[in-house]
Amino acid sequence: MADQGSTPPPPPNGRNPRLPARNDGSWPRWTAWVVVGIVAVLILAANLAGTPDPAAIDYAALRTEAAEGNVESFTYDNTTAKITGERVDDGEPFTSTGPSPLPEDDQAFFRDAGVDVKFETPQTNFFVSLIPLFLPFMIVIGFFWWIARRQQSQMGGIMSIGRNKAKTYSTERPGTTFNDVAGYRSVKQEITEVVDFLKHPNKFAEVGARIPKGVLLVGPPGTGKTLIARAVAGEAGVPFLSVTGSDFMEMFVGVGASRVRDLFQEARKMGRAIIFIDEIDSIGRKRGAGLGGGHDEREQTLNQMLAEMDGFEATEGIVMMAATNRPDILDPALLRPGRFDRQVVVPLPELEDRKEILGVHTKHKKMDADVDIHVIARGTPGMSGADLANLVNEAALYAVREGEKVVHARHFDQARDRVIMGVKRDSLVMNEAEREMTAYHEAGHALMAAVQPGYDPLHKVTIIPTGMALGVTMTLPIEDRHSMRKTQAEQMIVMALGGRNAEELVFDVVSSGAANDLQQATNIARRMVTEWGMSDKVGPMSFSSSGPVFLGDDMMGTKDFSEETGRVIDEETQRILLDMEERCQQLMKANRGALDLIARGLLEHETLSGDEVMRLVDISVNGTAADADELLANVEAANTNGAPVDAAEISAPTDPTGIAAQSDA
């Protein structure tokens, strides 16, 4: 057992585990390029550092210079007839070209003038003369050498196919700590003991405590499971081997199991280490499930992983970590004690967690003074950390499009609408009849949200086509909600049926625009009967079915209730829907004036805020037509474009049914 604060023992080969291994005695690939570069630099330097070129004179001028006594000697090249020498008066070199060969008369002339003529015949370099002969052979040999190297590298890739593909992060670059993980205090507190074990193993050994061999991070996508695993490695200061489940799968049989063996062997060489497998459900699915049995290669990989986890002792200092958002499909043998025996749930962030996450993502962005992180956190119910990061980026993009230097609160509101409801389809043109029907449809939703006591505050209603919907009515709850009462479920059904009943009341028709409304209302009513025990006739019984994951389970599975019970469930679901429809119709008729005012406001301005809708409802009861005209005339353009509402109207997580907005296709 290593002492406290000691570093992991180095691998046997003495190299850093992050560095790729290479054969001893072989030259690196870049050696040849370095040699070529050095030779080129030397040749260039020699050429640049050479003596300046001498002045060229013609042969007649040379004879004149010699006759005047300005030339004492020169050298005549018998091969090229080139003459080189120096003047007597200024010592400057010169060159000239004489006849070839030099005539006897000229030789006598130069002798009479006192010029010493030296004749030389330069010898050709033997090796330079061989270059033209051997150059083609060198090119051919180089080509075959290059082909051989490529084949060798390909064969090496085939032979190393069983090596694991894990990325190793050593103690030199942990990169991430718990300070980089915003929020999730309970998750970090639960996983801290893994860090304590890796930092202070003696403390656990003295008591005889055994740390869990495997820690499984479970949570929806985007909640930061991989980030938390990296933070554990950074806090513990031990090597961190990261690999995804799909890295074990290849077309060759047995490759996955070989990579698992190599992964654990590499971890053992490091001493204390963390092995992190992301998306473990890709190789950890239930064995033998599904039509026709499971995937043999995947099952072999899982079997090898189970054997390796049983093979090393808990005191070796190797901790397995994995992440998945589908724990229900994992093999039971993978989750038993002694393997992944601890599950750490990483849920969607709560209000305080969202505030901290938004603080991290807005830290390096220019924010205006009107941006309130608390307000934004309350208005982003049910968003994961990845969603919040995307929200901040979308707000910054809106600011850039408008030419702003800082991000304002309205940009966050526009970004939230973009994320939740989709992109506005300005190119979609509706005729007046369809536009009027859409206005009354959305007005019906908004009215039901406004007149029901205790219902979630209305945020905005619009008839601008957004995403796949022709209009959207959006409500936001006041506070975090983790359960739902029967009255709340009934109010949601009434609100969902408001659009359909408004069309029927005003136009005496029913359109296909209520398809999504009916789907949501039916889903809530059925869950009230089958899951939440809110039906007196069915009683406190649950008939919920999460749905089989595998086709084979679905074919072999049977319903856990009789046909008679199924008929009762259908009758109770229908009764709840009809009762809520009757309640909706009564509220609609009692507030017909408010319905007309809201529809009129939507036709004039296309978008109304929740505060404006509430004032229109109040005017319909206690005001006059002049009051309504004044209110609709003073609707600000900022509100029609999605301006932020009061902080009291913005909220937090979605309800258990996951409905945050009422959209109508």
- Asked if the model's pLDDT at residue 549 lies above 50, the reply is no
pLDDT at position 9: 44
Query: Mind telling me the catalytic residues?
Result: 442
CA distance 174 to 240: 8
pLDDT at position 576: 92
> Which whole number is the average pLDDT over 51-57?
67
CA distance 194 to 417: 41
508 or 288: which leads in pLDDT: 508
- Asked if the model's pLDDT at residue 175 lies above 70, the reply is no
- Asked if the model's pLDDT at residue 364 lies above 70, the reply is yes
The set of residues, in sequence order, having a beta carbon less than 8 Å from that of 78 and lying 6+ positions away, is 100, 101, 119, 120, 121
> Which whole number is the average pLDDT over 386-392?
88
The band of 497, judged by pLDDT with boundaries at 50, 70 and 90, is very high
User: Is the bond preceding residue 174 a cis peptide, omega within 30 degrees?
Assistant: no
Give the strand pairing for 342-345 and 318-324.
Answer: unpaired
The band of 113, judged by pLDDT with boundaries at 50, 70 and 90, is confident
pLDDT at position 288: 67
- Asked if the model's pLDDT at residue 428 lies above 50, the reply is yes
The phi, psi pair for 120, rounded to 5°, reads: -140, 150
Q: Which residues pair with 168 in a beta bridge?
A: 241
Identity (one letter) of the amino acid at 50?
G
CB 327 within 8 A of CB 216: yes
The band of 524, judged by pLDDT with boundaries at 50, 70 and 90, is very high
CB 662 within 8 A of CB 499: yes
Of the chain, the percentage scoring pLDDT greater than 90 comes to 7
CB atoms within 10 A of CB 619: 21
Q: Give the residue among 464, 478, 403 at the shortest CA–CA distance from 649.
A: 478
pLDDT at position 555: 47
Which parts of 212-252 are beta strand (E)?
A: 214-218, 240-244
Q: What is the pTM of this model?
A: 0.60
> Which whole number is the average pLDDT over 361-372?
87
Q: Which domains does the chain have, with CATH numbers?
A: 55-120 (3.30.720.210), 167-345 (3.40.50.300), 352-420 (1.10.8.60), 422-664 (1.20.58.760)
Average pLDDT, the chain: 74
- Asked if the model's pLDDT at residue 315 lies above 60, the reply is no
Can you list the alpha helix ranges (DSSP code H) found in 328-431? 332-335, 351-361, 373-378, 385-401, 409-421
330 or 156: which leads in pLDDT: 330
> Which whole number is the average pLDDT over 11-30?
47
Full strand arrangement of the beta sheet holding 93-97: 55-56, 93-97, 82-87, 71-77, 116-120
198 or 610: which leads in pLDDT: 610
Three-state SS sequence of 168-208: EECCCCCCCCHHHCCCCHHHHHHHHHHHHHHHCHHHHHHHC
Phi-psi region of 165 (alpha: psi -120 to 50; beta: other; left: phi over 0): alpha
Q: Give the residue among 357, 346, 19 at the shortest CA–CA distance from 169.
A: 19
Q: Which residues pair with 608 in a beta bridge?
A: 461
The band of 159, judged by pLDDT with boundaries at 50, 70 and 90, is very low
Q: Give the residue among 151, 327, 334, 158 at the shortest CA–CA distance from 250.
A: 158
> Which whole number is the average pLDDT over 306-327?
73
Q: What does the pLDDT look like over 526-545, one tens digit per residue?
A: 999 988 888 888 888 888 65
Calculate the CA 261 to chain-centre distance: 29
> Which whole number is the average pLDDT over 601-606?
85
pLDDT at position 522: 93
Region of poorest pLDDT, from 227-231, 411-415, 556-560, 570-574: 556-560
Q: How many CA atoms lie within 13 A of 45 on its CB side?
A: 6
Give the strand pairing for 167-169 and 240-244.
Answer: antiparallel
Distances (CA, A) of 402 to 363, 399, 427: 21, 5, 20
CA distance 466 to 541: 40
Please list, residue by residue across 155-176, b when 16 or more beta carbons sit within 10 angstroms of its beta carbon and e when fewer do: eeeeeeebebebebbbeeebeb
296 or 598: which leads in pLDDT: 598
626 or 17: which leads in pLDDT: 626
Q: Which residues pair with 330 in a beta bridge?
A: 285
